[in-house]
Structure 1
Amino acid sequence: MSVYFRILAIVISALTETCAVAAQENGFSKGITLYNQLKIDSAIAELKKEAQSGISESQYYLGEALRKRNRYMTSEAKEWYEAAAAQENLYAMIQLGRSGNDLCKVMSNCPDSGKPPADWLKNARALAEPLAEKGDAEAMYVMYEITLNRDWLEKSANAGNPDAQFWMAIGDKQGEGFLLPWKRKEAVGSWFKASAEGGNPRAMMEYAAYLYENEGDLKVARHWIKVAAEKGYKSGVSSYGAYLAHAPERFGFELDLVKGYAITSLLKDLDGGGNVQVYVEEVLPEIAEKMTSQQIKEAENFAIQWKKSHPPLSFFPDKLSR
């Protein structure tokens, strides 16, 4: 190979890595998108490319994907968690810290480690606690994950962290904390509302259900179902599409077969993740039976435009999975 082509190859490689890092920093990652769609095998292939470019988030999610696929901490998963942890990724440190309770312990095949799990949790705490004490909402949430002290969860929620607010609502709903019965329901609704307003699509759907069951406010409930769908949340998309097509009729949505069919058809993109196709194959023909061929064409065009203007579909799994 000539010197010119060697230099060209180096430049192209550098540009590829730079673009990958820039895309990640701007919230674009094909690997993480596939992971969030529960397409684990496809995600691993993409995440490896990103992780090898040194992107901490992709290294972390690659560790998650490998651990999930194998159902325990493998040597390869640990390697990528450690790579992310070396870049001060707190979530990777926590997963390494939890590896002492992993299934691999039961199977007696945990990867050898130069650092005990407890030390990883100490490292994570040493980084997170000073930030949490200064009022950083995410650091407070990380402190909750490290310590499992609900006080940190509540502090994070009060500081505006949507994930913490969501889990405060779930905890209150399940009877955690010390609340009078008539205050508990109010607290659940308030936390779900705060989390939804903070952009958490799972909270949006929970809050819509809360409004439907407890306050009968269908207008606001419809709003949050629509927003959850616009965020790409699988449950929001499936509910919004079905309710628009009255398959079934709930929450008082005005009948719109074209939009209902179009939005339901978006779920085809989740083929291979979460067993969604069984639902699609059942509901889509049911809606199509009520439509003309022209309406179906309109729906197909609507779906194309929706994809161009909305984020990819996602199950929004917890970032720090168990």
Structure 2
Amino acid sequence: MFFRQLITSALTTLLCFSAWAAPLTPEQHAAKEKGIILYNQYKAISAEPYLEIAAQAGDKEAQYYLGEALRLNNRFMTEEAYKWYVAAAEQGDYYAMYRLSGTGSDLCSAIGNCPPDHRTPGDWLLLGRKTAQAFAEKGDSEAMYVLYYLTNNFEWLEKSAEAGLPIAQYDLARLYEQGKGFFFPPWKRSARVEELAKKSAEGGCIKGIMLYQNFLEGKKDIEIYWTKKAVALGSAEAVYAYGSGLAHVPKDYGYPLDLVKGYGFVYMLLELDGGGSLKEYAEDILPDIASQMTAKQIEQAKAFAEEWKATHPPLSFFPPKLGF
């Protein structure tokens, strides 16, 4: 009974504390956005100083992402990463609580150098469940989604998808595709996967778009439509596919030939000098595209790239917020 009262009291405190957090200044907000952009481009090392500006100012999302960046950069849970997860969790961030609930087998626990915060991974798991459930019961689809990972209760993922969260619709589609759940007659499984993939795509989930495109074989116009949607959202992979397709390099994939736009899209990928290999792919095919162009066309392509970047979301690999 005492432990239940302690968790309830802590939950009330966390929910209240999150309401007290001071808003970021424009400079701090810009630093946070820059940090998240870099993190989403697999540049976690470069993201750290930007995220720290907003994290030090008390922004719980920046604190969570800083913890993620530090953990990924060091390949394990460090004392510094743990500190920022705790800071975010103490403001009611259930993503951070989920991460903290899994530290029992991590290196910082194994060697005993996690900061003493008087909570075990089990404590964080229970608190994460209660925190997320409080929001889920009010209809918060994102809280339902995280609650699925905190409880392994499949119903929460179904509820999140039904409530319209695109990433939940994608995850549910993939689980159905892999055999989860019962469908009769069996062909209804594929129909349900396609339905969920389409809803996820319509909600702007890049993974949902890619999954839905698997159902569009022989429908090239519709497939290109969804590739263009992913490009407009900033998907780095879609930008490469569309740019190389427009340039017909390495081969003609059925896209209309447009060397200027093709070169421009591929050229944008040169800024991805963090993780992934798209920068190397871009460097490999740009000379082949350029060999078919005039100097003026190449300059037009570079100008197109700059204009596109100024009017569209930044390039992103869209890593899952729950991390790797």
**Residue 145 of structure 1: CA displacement?**
1.3
Question: Which of 138, 146, 153 is the equivalent residue of 2:150?
Answer: 146
Q: How does 1:303-314 map to 2 (within 5 A)?
A: 303-314=305-316
Aligned length: 301
Question: Which of 288, 298, 314 is the equivalent residue of 1:286?
Answer: 288
> Does 2:206 align with 1:204?
no
Question: Which of 168, 171, 177 is the equivalent residue of 2:181?
Answer: 177
Unaligned runs of 5+ in 1: 1-15
**Residue 23 of structure 1: CA displacement?**
4.6
Over 3 Å counting, the alpha-carbon distance change for 1:299 and 1:100 in structure 2 is: same
1:236 maps to which residue? 238
d(CA) in 1 for partners of 2:190, 2:177: 7
**Residue 104 of structure 1: CA displacement?**
4.3
**Residue 248 of structure 1: CA displacement?**
4.2
2:111 maps to which residue? 108
d(CA) in 2 for partners of 1:237, 1:126: 40
d(CA) in 1 for partners of 2:181, 2:27: 44
Greater shift in the superposed pair: 267-276 or 66-75: 267-276
* Residue type at the aligned position of 1:268: L
**Residue 249 of structure 1: CA displacement?**
4.7
d(CA) in 1 for partners of 2:264, 2:207: 22
**Residue 203 of structure 1: CA displacement?**
1.5
Question: Which of 117, 135, 144 is the equivalent residue of 1:131?
Answer: 135
* Residue type at the aligned position of 1:194: K
CA offset digits 1:222-244 (Å, max 9, x no partner): 11101101111111111111111
Unaligned runs of 5+ in 2: 1-22
2:300 maps to which residue? 298
TM-score normalised by structure 2 residue count = 0.87
**Residue 109 of structure 1: CA displacement?**
4.5
> Does 2:171 align with 1:167?
yes
Q: Secondary structure at the match of 1:29?
A: helix
d(CA) in 2 for partners of 1:220, 1:173: 22
Greater shift in the superposed pair: 271-280 or 52-61: 271-280
2:274 maps to which residue? 272
Q: Secondary structure at the match of 1:41?
A: helix
Over 3 Å counting, the alpha-carbon distance change for 1:44 and 1:303 in structure 2 is: same
Over 3 Å counting, the alpha-carbon distance change for 1:299 and 1:91 in structure 2 is: same
Would you say the 8 A contact 1:21–1:55 is kept in 2? no
TM-score normalised by structure 1 residue count = 0.88
d(CA) in 2 for partners of 1:68, 1:210: 34
**Residue 36 of structure 1: CA displacement?**
0.5
1:3 maps to which residue? none
Over 3 Å counting, the alpha-carbon distance change for 1:209 and 1:250 in structure 2 is: farther
d(CA) in 2 for partners of 1:250, 1:319: 35
Q: Secondary structure at the match of 1:255?
A: coil
CA offset digits 1:2-32 (Å, max 9, x no partner): xxxxxxxxxxxxxx952245558xxx61111
d(CA) in 1 for partners of 2:253, 2:144: 36
CA offset digits 1:107-143 (Å, max 9, x no partner): 5345143101111121121122132233221121121
2:58 maps to which residue? 54
* Residue type at the aligned position of 1:262: G
Would you say the 8 A contact 2:67–2:84 is kept in 1? yes
* Residue type at the aligned position of 1:176: K
Over 3 Å counting, the alpha-carbon distance change for 1:22 and 1:103 in structure 2 is: closer
